[in-house]
Amino acid sequence: MNRFAHPAFAPYLEFIKLTAGDDQIASLNKLAAQREICHAHTGKPLSFTAADKPASACSYEQTIADTGIIPSREKNLHDYLNALVWLRFPHLKSAINLRHCQMLAQSESERRQRGALRDWLTLLDENGLLVATPNKKLLDLLRDKQWAELFWNARQDVVQDMRFVVIGHGLLEKCLSPFSGMTAKCLFLRTGQTTPEALDGEAARIVESTKPFEMPPLPVQGIPGWSNNESLETYLDTRVFRPPRTP
């Protein structure tokens, strides 16, 4: 079975085919150069460099902003998936990096412990899912955890009008061995434009302009076509599809 068969990898398959060799970092850099990928705020060309071990969170973010170099461990799956997201959604990833660096520059305490905004950014970076639709009602149903109403009663509308794109590299890693409780944090995009470029720009604008807010959870295996979920019983399983909290 194809390792990347899960629908979450659909936006990245083109890049996976081009970087599947033994020397992944060299392949990633070749692709970044060919596509002229740059940091959206500094203009520096983006590249990936081998790192023996992870840098501190502060150093990692500042290195990217200062140099355009993204430290990446050789043959490390987590870092490879992160690189794929950078290649596909460079404006969004640049915006996340920018906001991290802004907060680190504003407050010395951020170097000791992440504040609320950087917590939000980290959740988005690791477990984020873009949910794009012009249909406000569908977003409201998701926000309110009306799972059966959304994914069963309004299933055709979901298939026709909603697009789900995983941008969290930690969540992508989970999708290699999917399980029913696998949960994303959703970033809502009120748009009918669903090309990667359009989603990249819209998501980046939200990250650049907003303060922390609740990102609604979504068990991703409930998305139509993403698992064997073609029965109402799927969405009535409260162990996975938890009901809204009562006041």
Determine the Cα–Cα distance for residues 71 and 196; give it in Å rounded to an integer: 24
Structure tokens belonging to residue 173? 């890693």
| pLDDT tens digits in sequence order for the chain, 247 residues long | 489 999 999 999 999 999 987 789 999 999 999 999 999 999 999 999 998 766 788 889 999 999 999 999 888 999 999 999 999 999 999 999 999 999 888 877 777 778 888 899 999 999 999 999 999 999 999 999 999 999 999 999 999 999 999 999 999 999 999 999 999 999 999 999 999 999 999 999 999 998 888 899 999 999 999 999 999 999 999 999 999 987 7
How far are the Cα atoms of 23, 63, 71, 106, 210 from residue 48, in angstroms, in the given order?
Answer: 12, 11, 6, 27, 29
Q: What is the pTM of this model?
A: 0.95
Nearest partner of 215 among 148, 146, 128, 147, judged by Cα: 128
What is the DSSP track for 178-245? --TT-EEEEEEE--S--SHHHHHHHHHHHHHH-------EEEGGGSTTSSS--SHHHHH-TTTSPPPP
DSSP secondary structure code for residue 11 in this structure: G
What is the model's pLDDT at position 115? Answer: 82
Q: Is 95 exposed, middle or buried (0-12, 13-18, 19+ CB in 10 A)?
A: buried
